[in-house]
Structures are given as C-alpha cells and as structure tokens.
Structure 1
Amino acid sequence: NFEKEFQEHVVNYFVREYDSGRTPHPCLACNDKIKFDFLLRRAMFLEADYIATGHYARLDRSSSGVKLLRGVDSGKDQSYVLFTLNQPELQKLLFPVGEYTKKEIRSLALEGSLPVADKPDSQEICFIPSGNYREFLQERIKARPGSFVDTSGKVLGDHPGIQFFTIGQRRRLGLKNNGLEPKFVLKIDNQTNEITLGEESELYRKRFSFKNLSLTHESYRSEVIDIFARIRYKAEESQATAFFNEDSGIVEFKDPQRAITPGQPVVFYKGEELLGGGIIENVLDDGPSLKQSKMLTTV
C-alpha cells in the first residue's frame, strides 16, 4: 500500500507546484516515484524478475543497453511521461501493450472477456474525479490575491491567487474586455504575486532553461546536441538544440513555440527513441545560437 507515498509525492507535489505559480504534470510524478521507485524496489525485494505496466511505449534491448521507444499507437504514446527512467530501471521493465494500438488492445481484452474492454479512456486527474482542479486547490491553498499587469507593469485588475492560472490561459481571467483584444497569461511571478498578461503573439518563444535532467543512457550526455523536443503531452515534437549541464540545461527551438510552461516536462527524441528530458524552469530571452554561444555555464 503506497497511499502515504502517493499523497506526498503526487498530490502534495501537485498542490505545491500550483502554489508556486507552476503547472505540474502529476502523471509524471506518479510514474517516477510510485511505479518506478517504490513499486519497483518492492518488486525487487520480492525477487521479481520484472514488473510490467500498461504504458504505451516500447523497449529495444541489446548488449549495449535498453532503448526507450515510442509506442506503436502514436495517438496513445506515453513515452513522454517516462523520461526519468534510467538503465537499471529499464532493465527491469516490460511494456507489453506498447507493440499494439489501443484498438487492438481493446479487441484482445474483449476476446478475453475482460471487464475493462469497453472502459472509456481516462481524461481526468485520477485523484480529482470531479475534474474541478480549481476547487481542489482552493480547499488546500490559502488565497493570496494579487494583480494582473501588462508587460509594462501597468495594473489591469485583480486575481484571486496564482494557483488558478497557467501560461497561455485566456478564459476565466475575470477581467472585462472593454472591446480590447483578448489577453493571455504570459508570466506568473510567485514572488510579487503578479500575473503578466499580453497578446497571443507574445506567448511564442524559442528558449528556456530546464532542471532535473534525466537521460535514459549516460552516453547521450553531450555539451550541445540536436534533438526534437516536446513541451507538452499532446504537442508535436519540434526541432531544437539542447545544452546539457550536469543536471540542468537550456533548450532553443528552431521555431518559436506557444506557451512554454514552467513546471511541465520537456522531453528529447531522436527518431523513435526517447533520450531523456527535464522540467521546464524559466522562459529566456532570445540570444546567440546555443551552438555559437560560450556563455552557458549558468542556467
């Protein structure tokens, strides 16, 4: 029973991140801490050879190690939330459904008379069955009202608390439009409690720092590497250059990306293989190309 661990490492983490003005990914925390830390260690204690999960991802085993690949079903691929896995963990895992599409898995479940054969896909956060995460947070975080400001610092109005907002948000801001262009959340400052609003075009940026770098194989660690990066679960990968420090780094996309969001994972791919990833920390101003700049020792 990992109820206490789930509360601390998933639910409490979720609340802390929103309270800090960041947007967490609770499924990532659940995979990293519950399934592939506590559960895996318990399985090894019980002398299990492997643990198998229902993730839509694939493993390619060879004498040089295990590669983590996308699932066959591109629409259900879950490799994005598995980037924290390392070689010792990958050696002990099985992803049997990753070689099938979701439709094929449902057919197999039906053939086996399994009760989950026609179970709807989960759309909500598992510990918030109502789907109302604002209400969930309101019950757990003390309200700290603050100000909406524009990019020049002019106050536009008041907000009930930074925990109710995320980068790129347009709806439910509580501001009167007064015939002006819609405003979007550009930045959330947990020090001043200010939320900066602006035009949608201002959401598009190319560069950001990240922390908690994790690589599926240490041989992938390189000072500067060309990769395809994904910054949210349902987003497409985009061409980028990444600079790796020991446990952090900087990513620069070839083309600007919409609503790069602190707290969300950034995941690195080369072809079908997931190389690793990290957690988005800060959106940075554009500057010299990463390949040309020698000023990347601090993030």
Structure 2
Amino acid sequence: MTVFVALALAVLTLALPARAAVPFDPFGSTAVDSPQDAAVPEHAPFVDRKGRPVDLGTLVRGDVPVVLAPVYYDCPNICSVSTASLTQSLALLTTLEHGRDYRVVFFSFDPREGPAEARKALASLQQRKMDYPALPDLAWLTGGPEAIEGVTRALGYRYAWDAGIGQYSHANAFAVLTPDGRLSRWINAISVEPTDLRLAITEAGAGTVGSMSDFLLMLCYQYDPVTGKYGRVIDVSIKGLAAVTLLCLFGFIGFALWQERRRARREGP
C-alpha cells in the first residue's frame, strides 16, 4: 500500500507541472457573444474620472442609445488606437449630436485601474487635437471586480489575464445599447467606420434619433454579426433582381418558342 501511495504521489507531482505548462490560448479565452435579451445590470457601481460614484446601470438608461466601450486604459497594444478610431468616427457624425442623439461611456475591465488612469486616457485623446467638442463630456469609468464582471458577463464580453506577458487578452469591440440598456449590436473596434457607427446608433434608437436620411440609409444596409460591420443590402438586391430578370426572360423566350411550335403543328405542312 505504501508503495502504491508513493507511486500515485509521484504521478501527481509530474502531472501538475505538465498541466501548468499548457500555453495560454487568447482566442479560447476572449470573445464577444450576443446573449439573448442581454442588458446592462440595473445596478453597477463605478466611479468617473473625478472619483465620483456613478451607477452604470442608471447611466446607460435614458432617452438615447449608448455606445458602451469596454477598454483597458493602460493597454500597451491596440486599445488606444481603437479608442481614437471611435472618437474620430464620432466627430464625423454630423447629423448626430452627443447628449441629444447618443451618449458614449468608456469603462475599464481592469479592476486595478482607477480615476487616474481614466484621466490619463482622456488626456491622451485630447493631445491628438481632434475636432470633437463633446470629448470632455464622454464618461470614463472604473470599477471593482464584481461590477466589471457583472457588466461584461451580462453583455457577453469575455477577456482574460495572460500571466505569461502580464497583460489582458481581450476582444476589440464596442457595444451599442438601446435607450433602455439592452444590447443592440457589437461594433468592430479595430477600425470604426462612421457609417457603421451611424447606422448602429440609428438602429438602436428605433427611429427616435437621426434624420430621415439616416433611416433610409439603414434600410440599404444589413448588419453582419461575424465582422461587426454593416454591408450594402442593395448589392445583394441588385444581384437577386438580375437573376429574377434573367429567369423571366428565359421563361418568356421558352414560352414563345413553345407557342410557335404549337401553332406550326396546327397549321400543318
């Protein structure tokens, strides 16, 4: 029995390092899902860049859609690029106005970050001297582990700490919420196209925001959940219409030939 126990302990000792050596898989640990009926929790305590308490659940519920951006303020990689891309696209939305038609909320999913990191992120954007007067009015939030986990889990945003490199592995995407805090769309944050953002906000507002041209433009585009972007429906429609036209043409020609042969048989030689 003693020999058996010793062998079992030896096997476990060898197995533990082997298990720990399994490489971190960023693609398996991070993703963006769209859970059915996903919504921001009604109560989610955060603080803004000035250290004031903010309930994210209340903040995202109101009269207009909200662009909710989960970020990592001290991210050494692409987060700053994605944030700048979003801000630049917002500046180009000439038919929509922050506060009147939509609101933007950034929140860090790193519980170690606080108001100082939020202020630093805003200052970094301000140094780019973008033509976006609403930049100081955007919300920059940080929170504790429970609040962060509650929001990200509810919206289907997955991220993970990679101990090998000492950084968070995460998806680059922004959520567009309806005025009552429900998830409408995830938008690809790698390169935020103004048209995609405009359509997503208009769609989330269900016709309550944007101009008539925004609404008509939305009818010409279709959301692709794989790419997180909008594509022209009109291209598909034209191809479909062309196919139907060809079928009708061939059908007409076939019917005309059949009628001609039938008439010839009746008349005889």
TM-score by length of 2: 0.23
- Which has the larger share of helix? 2
- Which has the larger share of strand? 1
Higher relative contact order (CA 8 A, sep 6+): 2
